[in-house]
Amino acid sequence: MEHVARAAGVSRATASRAVTGQGPVSASARDRVLAAARALGYVPDPLARALVAGTGTRLVVAVGGTSAAVLHDPYVARVLAAAAAVGEPAGLGASLVHLPLAGSRVLDGLARDRGVAGLVLVNTTHAVLGALPPRLAGRVASIGTGSAGVAGVDVDTGSGTAAVVEHLLASGRRQVAMVTGPAWLPCTRRAQQGYERAVRAAGLAPRLVPGDFTVAAGEEAVRAVLARWPGTDAVHAVSDAPALGALRALRAAGRRVPDDVAVSGFDDSAAAGLVEPGLTTATHPVEEVAAAAARTALGLAPAPGALFPSVPVLRGSTGARLAG
């Protein structure tokens, strides 16, 4: 910038004002500075800017979970990529950290780290929300559950789930079980409530089995379902991975899908359209949700007022004839 200022015949201060657009600058000076900057190929140093502004240079995506294995989840990778895309224009990178269920050590470290520009919480628990250091205030957004001080950005999982379950019921299923999310994760409650609402509206009783976001959990849950309610004719899972596990376990148990048992999931992951039969699920804009959370954490935009929509995607696993 020294060079730019000299080339334009002004001081560094004026040059700075011209490139940032902040503060008073005469039109002629501004034009000369901008021209010089372009000619010299000047690019402002994000570091120095962040240093003086005290804002940090990276957007941290912190994922709650019982083990660091959650960091390998494809969904988490999508969120990270979306966060990186939001930060890129401003020269901000994205980081990925695991947040143990009961530990504010990581959170404290993040709060002290001056390199942290913003924090996006994934799989947010009340414990995390409660342990959030005050220094982070205003720079945090949560995908899912929010709180008084933390903006929550989320999908209308309740309606999305209810719509999928209603499809199961409309196609004649009467014994519909659900593989729920882990008990420690509050935002999966809404999906569960959507299921319960739909099932009760049809005059049926909910059949809940605990699970999580893994294929293995879906397999195990289905074995539990079949043992407890052998007549089950439909299984809905809190996300696609356990639904795919359910598909496998049902097949292993000799049940035909969708003839004997229908299966549905949630998220419309890449694999949902590839398996045979295709997995009925609900889609929602993962990248958009993550980007909105990232922008909110960075103070680039206010938290969206409404929930992002979730719409059913009907495929063969529930007997639908629509292509996958």
Partner DNA sequence: TTGTAGGCGTTATCAC
Partner DNA sequence: GTGATAACGCCTACAA
26 binds DNA (CB under 7 A): yes
> Which of 53, 5, 59 is CA-nearest to residue 32?
5
Question: Residues 38 to 67: which contact DNA by CB under 7 A?
Answer: 42-45, 48-49, 51-54
Minimum CB distance to DNA smaller for 24 or for 231: 24
Among 10, 29, 33, 92, binds a second copy (CB under 8 A): 92
115 binds, among a second copy, DNA, none (CB under 5 to 8 A by kind): a second copy
Minimum CB distance to a second copy smaller for 148 or for 323: 323
Alpha carbon distance 279, 312 (integer Å): 11
Write out the two tokens for 170: 């409309």
Shortest distance (Å) from residue 191 CB to DNA: 43
Alpha carbon distance 191, 244 (integer Å): 18
20 binds DNA (CB under 7 A): yes
Contact in structure between 162 and 198 (CB atoms under 8 Å)? yes
Contact in structure between 242 and 279 (CB atoms under 8 Å)? no
Question: Residues 28 to 57: which contact a second copy by CB under 8 A?
Answer: 41-43, 45-48, 50-51, 56-57
Side-chain half-sphere CA neighbours of 4 within 13 A = 25
295 binds a second copy (CB under 8 A): no
> Which of 44, 34, 49, 40 is CA-nearest to residue 3?
40
Minimum CB distance to a second copy smaller for 228 or for 256: 256
Alpha carbon distance 253, 241 (integer Å): 18
Contact in structure between 178 and 242 (CB atoms under 8 Å)? no
Shortest distance (Å) from residue 74 CB to a second copy: 6
Q: Concatenate the DSSP letters of all residues of 140-174 into one string.
A: EEEES---SSSEEE-B-HHHHHHHHHHHHHHTT--
Question: Residues 94 to 133: which contact DNA by CB under 7 A?
Answer: 114
Residues near a second copy (CB under 8 A) = 41-43, 45-48, 50-51, 56-60, 71-72, 74, 76-78, 80-81, 84-85, 87-88, 91-97, 108-109, 112-115, 215, 244, 248, 251, 270-271, 274-276, 287
Residues near DNA (CB under 7 A) = 1-2, 9-14, 16-17, 19-20, 22-26, 28-30, 42-45, 48-49, 51-54, 114
